[in-house]
Chain A
Amino acid sequence: MTANLVMVFFVAGALFAAGVLAVAWRRDVSSALAGIPLILAGAGVAFVGVARFAGAGAPHLFGQEVAVLLAVAATALLALGLGVAGREGTR
């Protein structure tokens, strides 16, 4: 049993599409914001996969670096979005 770059792209595409589905389907803004980490997770998996399976000479740690930045950015964006949405009963 083995996994190749196509499988990595399938998983990345599935995560990205699940995130887009969450953003498009949810009526409530604070619920729709939960799709942002999923979208960025799909992008991170694609970056790590490409770096892992890239041809000779490519820096394989670059994908890991971008994945770290995307995960941190996802958390920050979610915190900011939920902060703007505000807690119930504060208005």
Chain B
Amino acid sequence: MDSLHAIGFYVSSGVSVIGGLGVALLGGRTMRGLLLAICGLGLAGIYISLGAGFAAVVALACYIGCALLIAGPRYRSIETLTGTMWRQIGAIGAGAVLLVLGFAAYRGNFVTAKASGDGFGIADVGRLLFAHDALATDAVAALVLVSLIGAAAIWRVKERGR
């Protein structure tokens, strides 16, 4: 990986992690949506610097969609039954997960791994998606279909009962 890609990787990583932490910690749905879009932008930058251009385009489109969903209509506030203490334990657990993953990455013998492959690769990714791993693609397509139909049906039922 050359210097230009490395600089792009570090800058994009910073943008993405700051956006992610903002989503987790800051309030306001518009702000959360904006930060999720920024996180998606950083994620696309990471993918591009790692030579995954097609994944970058798809991730950018999907995360902007997620941001619009979160910042869009005002959602009913559903409070979880989990108490404050358990939420704090969960947050400390998230920090512990970061430490463990960081330690595992540091201790793992990955430093000698060399970068290989580059380019956009739409045709090859398409071949993988629709020929080699068609079952996984079908499963995700079914998930998308169920999600869209389910969300639309639930909203229609609720609108009718208004």
Contacts and interface: CB of A to CB of B under 8 A. Distances in A.
Given A27-B79, A28-B79, A86 B50 contact: no
Contact of B50 (A31, A34, A52): A52
A56 B113 CA distance: 10
B7 A21 contact: no
Contacts of B104: 9
Q: Is the interface of B mostly helix, strand, loop or mixed?
A: helix
Contacts of A68: 54-55, 58-59, 125, 129
Contacts, number: 298
B115 A82 contact: no
Given A17-B94, A71-B63, A90-B158, A82 B128 contact: no
Nearest to A22: B24
Contacts of B54: 64, 68
A16 B97 contact: yes
A2 B62 CA distance: 29
A21 B93 CA distance: 8
B75 A38 contact: no
Interface residues of A, number: 79
Interface string A35-53: 1011001001100110111
A30 B17 contact: no
A69 to B, nearest CB: 5
Contacts of A79: 69, 147-148, 151
A34 B24 CA distance: 8
17 contacts: A3-B9, A13-B105, A17-B95, A21-B91, A25-B91, A28-B80, A30-B76, A38-B39, A44-B55, A52-B116, A61-B124, A64-B121, A65-B125, A68-B59, A75-B62, A87-B158, A89-B74
Interface of A: 1-35, 37-38, 41, 44-45, 48-49, 51-56, 58-65, 67-69, 71-80, 82-91
Given A65-B125, A65-B133, 4 more contacts: A14-B20, A16-B97, A45-B47, A62-B128
